[in-house]
């Protein structure tokens, strides 16, 4: 698990810009390692450079500068057809003039695998993706979900060193997407092949990936395990892009060791852990806290505040009932905060009403201080 | 005394009535323009052809009077083809000889222009060099340049080339099959390149990436993926080129030599002497053949767009 499979060193990719003769940087100097057997996701909004990075690993694009190293071999000048990687494309790109079996056998034939063995391995790959009976059909006769599986079989049959997946579930409906997430992860664990997975869907990245690289504007903002990215986002962008977050503008009033007291407004001060990096007094900061980590209590009948918890008082605005959850919009001074509470029992649903005064509580380490 | 001055309401009502009448009149003019004029257009376009086809089934050899339905002129052509001795078999055999020349020229010219035209389309679509827009535009030459101009220019071109060969080797080549085929290839390349180019523009460039991703080198990717996907376009372009070649008169006229009379040239030469009913029959056959080829070409192009995306 510690062998480096793919190493990117300061990779830059520039494309000729649309207007005039300038260059746009799609990828702006990124470096990271992907380990052997890892499920690695590149997550970001469209235009963040994730697909360009994947295409550079595949060899469809050449980096403007920087280095891509695969299995210890620099890939500079190595064309796509000589790289030990295979790609599952977003729109599958199955060859329409070949049958499913011919599609899956294509890579093996290019590798000069004997016909009988190629046929057997292709059939095994189709069994693996649970499509044993469509071998003689043409791709257009299959449903989108089936085509997606064929694309997967066509790539996996070659036993690639790294499998590259470019938003492979993007065209499927939600239910099928959830099923495929489970299957993909199971397949990756079973085969032990390194997956590099590009997606803009945070749920896909969180559910499947061992590690996630969050990208924006051609940069990698943060790399970490799903829980590290979710629990300790290092920037407002990451906190906002992954999951939902309340951002409260605040001011650092004073420090107390590793913690600081920040003022949300003239009447409200809370205690929060200070980030490791330097922070000066009176600096404007942002308090980030996720809606589901806030506990809402009626003002008068709340239990005593436990140790290590913070509390502020607010006024309830709108209350939304969404079945599994309740969503409250609470005003704290000038701040608007979203709160999410699970409806564990039917009775909790209507405990708190609009215009009520409430206490909002959170465990101290669930709030993060982001420097503006 | 009752006032004759209309109230504002009556004026407005009158205006609406007037405007409605004017609209109706305009509609009537429009109907004449949109129905009669197109009908006249279609009449002049198709009536001569209908007449030609009808008279190819005329029992008498007269081109003026209808004297009953008959297949005899088709019979004459057919007899000529299998060489049985009917009274008209000599002229029929000349005609079939011309038909043979036409088909031979069209086949060879089509095959050559399919290869070159496809390469031109690929180069224009995939190449990275300046002036591609201009070069694409120049492909439309055969559609824009008058046939006469192209014919004369090719004749002049070959004269210059032949003069040069004569000067160098002492031998003087003559016009014939080779010059006709070169001339036909020259305009057919455009048709093939345009049709194949359209197919290429529709084709998802990811197919070639997918082939490379699966380990196919440039040649393998072309042979196993690009070429099969382009094939409907190449066949469509080829059928179009074949049709253009088969019924070209003007350019062939400038480039033909002794013994290389194609069917259109032969038909024209007959017309100078007399119009025989066989001409009607053979023209009808050519009409059907051309329609079939162009129809097939369109079918392939239509099917192409369905599978290319």
List CB contacts of A132: < 8 A, sequence separation 6 or more.
Answer: A123, A126
Statement: residue B133 has pLDDT above 60: yes
pLDDT digits (tens, 9 = 90+) for A128-138: 998 888 999 99
Residues A196 and A337 in one domain: no
Helix (H) or strand (E) holding B7: none
Kindly report the CATH number assigned to the domain that includes residue A127. 3.40.50.300
Residues A19 and A131 in one domain: yes
Determine contact: A158 vs chain B, CB below 8 A.
yes
A51 pLDDT band, cuts 50/70/90, is very high
Chain A nearest-CA distance from B292, in A, is 25
> Rounded distance, CA A61 to CA A362, Å?
48
- Residue B65 falls inside a structural domain: no
pLDDT the model gives residue A348? 67
Among A91, A93, A110, the residue with its CB nearest the CB of B215 is A110
Whether residue B210 and residue A79 make contact (CB cut-off 8 A), yes or no, is no
Q: Which residues of A touch B212 (CB under 8 A)?
A: 59-60, 79-81
- Residue B254 falls inside a structural domain: yes
Q: Are strands A85-88 and A162-166 parallel, antiparallel or unpaired?
A: parallel
pLDDT digits (tens, 9 = 90+) for B81-98: 555 555 456 666 777 788
> Which residue does chain B place closest to A107, by CA atoms?
B214
pLDDT the model gives residue A194? 96
Boundaries of domain holding A250: 246-371
> Rounded distance, CA A50 to CA A213, Å?
9
SS3 of B121-158: HHHHHHCCCCCHHHHHHHCCHHHHCCHHHHHHHHHHHH
Statement: residue A95 has pLDDT above 50: yes
Residues B10 and B90 in one domain: no
Residues A269 and A289 in one domain: yes
Q: Between B296 and A275, where is the model more confident?
A: B296
**What is the tally of structural domains in chain B?**
2
Residues A145 and A42 in one domain: yes
Q: Which residues of A touch B204 (CB under 8 A)?
A: 91, 93
Residues A234 and A296 in one domain: no
Residues A12 and A44 in one domain: yes
Whether residue B209 and residue A158 make contact (CB cut-off 8 A), yes or no, is no
Residues A281 and A148 in one domain: no
The complex's ipTM? 0.83
Helix (H, G, I), strand (E, B) or coil at B74: helix
Lowest mean pLDDT among A279-283, A339-343, B234-238: A279-283
Residue of A124, A165, A123, A135 whose CA lies nearest to A148 = A165
Q: Which residues of B touch A79 (CB under 8 A)?
A: 212
Residues B102 and B246 in one domain: yes
Determine contact: B227 vs chain A, CB below 8 A.
no
Instruction: Report the half-sphere exposure of B140 (CA within 13 A, side-chain side).
Output: 5
Residue B239 and residue B294 in contact, taking contact as beta carbons nearer than 8 Å: yes
Question: Which residues lie across from A295 on neighbouring strands?
Answer: A361
Residue of A201, A252, A197, A205 whose CA lies nearest to A224 = A205
**What is the tally of structural domains in chain A?**
2
Q: What pTM does this model have?
A: 0.79
Determine contact: A60 vs chain B, CB below 8 A.
yes
Determine contact: B48 vs chain A, CB below 8 A.
no
List CB contacts of A331: < 8 A, sequence separation 6 or more.
Answer: A314, A315, A317, A337
- Residue B61 falls inside a structural domain: no
Residues B160 and B217 in one domain: yes
- Residue B69 falls inside a structural domain: no
Residues B28 and B81 in one domain: no
- Residue B56 falls inside a structural domain: no
pLDDT the model gives residue B308? 47
A150 pLDDT band, cuts 50/70/90, is very high
Kindly provide the b/e burial profile for residues A42-66, where b requires at least 16 CB atoms within 10 angstroms of the residue's own CB.
bbbeeebbbbbbbbbbbbbbebeeb
Q: Which residues of B touch A97 (CB under 8 A)?
A: 228-229, 307
pLDDT the model gives residue B305? 53
Q: Are strands A325-332 and A246-256 parallel, antiparallel or unpaired?
A: unpaired
Whether residue B212 and residue A59 make contact (CB cut-off 8 A), yes or no, is yes
> Which residue does chain B place closest to A163, by CA atoms?
B213
Return mean pLDDT, chain A: 90
pLDDT digits (tens, 9 = 90+) for A300-339: 888 899 999 999 999 999 999 888 889 999 999 889 999 9
> Rounded distance, CA A179 to CA A192, Å?
20
Q: Which residues of A touch B220 (CB under 8 A)?
A: 110
pLDDT the model gives residue A1? 44
Please give the backbone phi and psi of residue A16, each rounded to the nearest 5 degrees, phi first. -60, 135
Kindly report the CATH number assigned to the domain that includes residue B103. 1.10.3720.10
B309 pLDDT band, cuts 50/70/90, is very low
């Amino acid at each position: 698990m510690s062998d480096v499979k793919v190493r990117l060193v300061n990779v830059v990719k520039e494309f000729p810009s649309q207007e005039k003769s300038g260059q746009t940087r799609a990828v702006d100097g990124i470096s990271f390692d992907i380990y052997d057997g890892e499920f690695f996701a590149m997550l970001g909004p469209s235009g963040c450079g994730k697909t360009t990075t994947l295409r550079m690993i595949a060899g469809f694009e050449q980096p403007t500068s920087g280095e891509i190293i695969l299995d210890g071999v620099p890939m500079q000048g190595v064309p796509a057809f000589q790289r030990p990687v295979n790609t599952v494309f977003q729109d599958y790109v199955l060859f329409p003039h070949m049958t499913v079996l011919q599609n899956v056998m294509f890579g093996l034939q290019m590798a000069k695998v004997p016909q009988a063995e190629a046929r057997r391995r292709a059939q095994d790959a189709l069994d693996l993706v649970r499509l044993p009976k469509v071998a003689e059909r043409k791709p257009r006769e299959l449903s989108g979900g089936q085509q997606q599986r064929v694309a997967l079989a066509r790539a996996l049959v070659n036993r690639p060193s790294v499998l590259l997946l470019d938003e492979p579930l993007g065209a499927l409906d939600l239910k099928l997407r959830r099923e495929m997430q489970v299957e993909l992860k199971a397949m990756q664990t079973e085969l032990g092949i390194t997956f590099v997975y590009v997606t803009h869907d945070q749920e896909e990245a969180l559910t499947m990936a061992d590690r996630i690289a969050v990208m924006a504007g051609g940069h990698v903002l943060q790399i970490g395990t799903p829980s590290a990215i979710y629990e300790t986002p290092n920037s407002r962008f990451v906190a906002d892009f992954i999951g939902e977050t309340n951002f409260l503008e605040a001011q650092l009033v004073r420090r107390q060791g590793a913690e600081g007291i920040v003022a949300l407004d003239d009447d409200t001060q809370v205690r929060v852990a200070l980030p490791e990096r330097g922070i000066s007094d009176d600096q404007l900061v942002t308090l980030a806290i996720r809606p589901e980590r806030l506990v809402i209590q009626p003002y008068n009948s709340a239990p005593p505040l436990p140790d290590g918890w913070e509390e502020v008082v607010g006024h309830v605005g709108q209350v939304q009932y969404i079945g599994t959850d309740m969503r409250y919009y609470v005003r704290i001074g000038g701040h608007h905060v979203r709160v999410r509470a699970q409806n564990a029992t039917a009775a909790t649903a209507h405990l708190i009403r609009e215009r009520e005064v409430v206490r909002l509580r959170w465990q101290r380490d669930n709030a993060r201080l982001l420097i503006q | 005394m009752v006032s004759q001055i209309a109230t504002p309401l009556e004026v407005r009502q009158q205006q609406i009535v007037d405007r409605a009448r004017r609209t109706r009149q305009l509609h009537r003019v429009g109907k004449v323009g949109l129905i009669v004029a197109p009908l006249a257009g279609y009449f002049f376009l198709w009536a001569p052809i209908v007449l030609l086809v009808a008279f190819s089934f005329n029992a008498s050899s007269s081109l003026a009077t209808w004297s009953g339905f008959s297949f005899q002129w088709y019979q004459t052509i057919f007899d000529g083809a299998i060489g049985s001795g009917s009274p008209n078999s000599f002229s029929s055999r000349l005609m079939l000889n011309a038909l043979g020349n036409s088909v031979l020229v069209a086949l060879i010219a089509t095959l050559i222009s399919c290869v070159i035209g496809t390469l031109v389309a690929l180069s224009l679509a995939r190449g990275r060099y300046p002036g591609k827009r201009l070069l694409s535009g120049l492909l439309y030459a055969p559609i824009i340049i008058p046939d006469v101009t192209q014919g004369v220019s090719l004749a002049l071109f070959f004269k210059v080339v032949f003069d040069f060969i004569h000067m160098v080797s002492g031998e003087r080549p003559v016009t014939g099959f080779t010059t006709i085929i070169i001339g036909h290839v020259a305009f057919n390349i455009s048709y093939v390149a345009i049709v194949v180019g359209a197919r290429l523009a529709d084709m998802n460039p990811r197919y070639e990436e997918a082939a490379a991703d699966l380990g196919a080198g440039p040649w393998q990717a072309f042979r196993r993926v690009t070429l099969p996907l382009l094939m409907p376009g190449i066949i469509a372009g080829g059928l179009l080129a074949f049709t253009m070649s088969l019924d070209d008169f003007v350019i062939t006229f400038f480039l033909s030599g002794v013994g290389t009379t194609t069917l259109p040239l032969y038909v024209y030469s007959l017309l100078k002497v007399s119009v025989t009913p066989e001409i009607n029959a053979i023209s009808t056959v050519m009409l059907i053949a051309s329609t079939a080829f162009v129809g097939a070409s369109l079918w392939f192009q239509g099917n192409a767009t369905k599978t290319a995306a």
